Amino acid sequence: MNDRIAVPLPKSYLLLNHGPTVLVSSTHGGRQNVMAAAWNMALDFDPPKVAVVIDKSTLTRELVEASGEFVLNVPARGQAALTLAVGSESGRGMDKILKVGAGTTAASRVGAPLIAGCLAWLECRVIPEPHIQQTYDLFLGEVLAAWADPAAFSDNRWHFPTDDRRSIHYLSGGSFFATGEEFKA
């Protein structure tokens, strides 16, 4: 896994502010899993919070509800095939992280693993809101720790070093947008 640097918690919203698709990793009771989630957003600055949709049919849902934890991993364009793969098949009956060949490393504040090779990682604890979890598949989390690949994000700014290390935005049918040019309004 790349070196990583800590992102100050009140700046961790910057990792999600531009709307990238993320990977949600989770673990509980000896099982681990990862899924893709285009439906995520920052929810607050300080303490930082996030929101993410986790469908009832997924193994991730079961692991997140049981453990009360998850990690949002921001994948790079070079991981688009992996992102599509973990968004397309269920982790039930196999270890999807192993199957897709994703490396992992230990998180600092949660049990869920960090997916290797990503651009950034947000370690989150579920803020229990059973009604919206059940009704809308909507999970809120407090960000306990945040990390970034310093080649892509440092000093509170994204600066993608290569096209392969840009963040990505899922569309449908296997298509993504790469994050494009930065500009000032």
Interface with a copy of itself includes 101 (CB under 8 A)? no
If one counts every other C-beta atom within 10 angstroms of the C-beta of residue 145, the result is 18
Say if residue 10 is exposed, middle or buried (CB neighbours under 10 Å; 0-12, 13-18, 19+): middle
Q: Taking CB under 8 A as the criterion, which residues in 15-34 touch a copy of itself?
A: 17-21
Report if residue 116 touches a copy of itself, rule: CB under 8 A. Answer: no
Binding of a copy of itself by 176 (CB under 8 A)? yes
Residue with tokens 């009360």: 68
H or E segment at 78?
none
Question: Quick one: which of 162, 151, 87, 85 has its CA closest to 120?
Answer: 151
Interacting residue with a copy of itself among 77, 119, 120, 146 (CB under 8 A): 77
Q: Is the separation of the CB atoms in 51 and 114 below 8 Å?
A: no
Q: How far is the CB of 152 from a copy of itself (least distance, A)?
A: 13
Beta-sheet strands, E only, within 54-100: 69-74
Q: How many residues sit close enough to a copy of itself to count as binding (CB under 8 A)?
A: 48
Query: Which one of the spans 26-34, 44-52, 56-64, 115-123 is the region binding a copy of itself (CB under 8 A)?
Result: 44-52
SS3 state at 59:
helix
Please identify, among the stretches 1-9, 61-69, 91-99, 156-164, the one whose residues bind a copy of itself according to the rule CB under 8 A: 156-164
**Burial class of residue 158 (count of CB atoms within 10 Å of its CB; 0-12, 13-18, 19+):** buried
Is residue 115 a contact point for a copy of itself (CB under 8 A)? no
9 touches a copy of itself by CB under 8 A: no
Q: Which of residues 124-143 bind a copy of itself (CB under 8 A)?
A: 129, 131-132, 136-138, 140
Name the residues that contact a copy of itself, by CB under 8 A: 14, 17-21, 38-44, 49, 51, 53, 77, 80-81, 83-84, 129, 131-132, 136-138, 140, 156-158, 166, 169-172, 174-185
